[in-house]
Amino acid sequence: MRSGWFVLGGWFLAIASCVAPKPPELRVLTYNIHHGRGADGQVDLQRIAEVILSTRPDLVALQEVDRRTRRSNNADQAQMLALLTGMEAHFGRAIDFDGGEYGEAVLSGLKGGAPRTHPLPASPGHEERAALAVPVWLPSGEEVLFVGTHLDHTKDPADRLAQAIALRASFSDQIAIVLVGDLNAEVGSPPIERLLKVFERAGGRKPLPTFPSDKPRKSIDHVLFRLPGWSVKSIRIVDAPHASDHAPLLVVFERRAPVR
């Protein structure tokens, strides 16, 4: 009877040795939250938080975030979303607005370093924009710079191109980086083509329509990256038509090579 247990135990060990461990993943979400204002005209951060949590992200870049503005009842939206999601929040000011500030936010479930806000060029009379960069450390010990941004929305592409050039100049030497956000430009446009000279794009040149959220037809939210040893495992446009005017874009990266 005892020898039977040895045989059975050996069989389980043999099976276990044939099962490869699951490669590490990095889950990244970009989401223009329209300061929490949904299709019903209501500002509802609980609804935004539920959408975020449904994707189980490690890193989230949020655009159109209010900080203590009158229109958002003086709420610090980044910190409120941190409480609702259990993640750490960072805010990057783009402009002063309505008694408070308006700009980018990053939510992180990873250990990170000090955030830095990079102002982007804007023509006179155009809304100023910024990029918020946060260094984070993956469980493997690798450092990745996570950058969220929001480029100019006007019909004139000149500011978007200037902003894309500024992003390239600021981050082209970064070894491991994920740069995401509402870039207000589609693949084939000069700003995106300029960025694709130094970054890869999740989905390659395939359209990933995220706007408007009820019937997406414009592919203006992007996940760009340079991640040695990693590849895109999956891409998902999250169906959340009532929470904001943009649909969130989730990209899951998978480590394809061992950490050295």
pLDDT (tens digit per residue) in 130-168: 999 999 999 989 999 999 999 999 999 999 999 999 999
Alpha carbon separation from 128 to 140, 191, 222, 232 (Å, rounded): 37, 17, 20, 32
pLDDT tens track for 64-119? 999 999 999 999 999 999 999 999 999 999 999 999 999 999 999 999 999 999 99
Q: Cα separation of 4 and 16, whole Å?
A: 18
H-run or E-run covering 66: strand 59-67
Q: Are 26 and 253 in contact (CB under 8 A)?
A: yes
Closest CA to 97 of 129, 67, 63: 67
Q: Cα separation of 233 and 227, whole Å?
A: 13
pLDDT for the residue 18: 54
Q: Give the pair of three-digit tokens for residue 35.
A: 């300061």
pLDDT of residue 225 exceeding 80: yes
pLDDT for the residue 16: 47
Domain 24-255 has CATH 3.10.450.50: no
Domain boundaries, the chain: 24-255
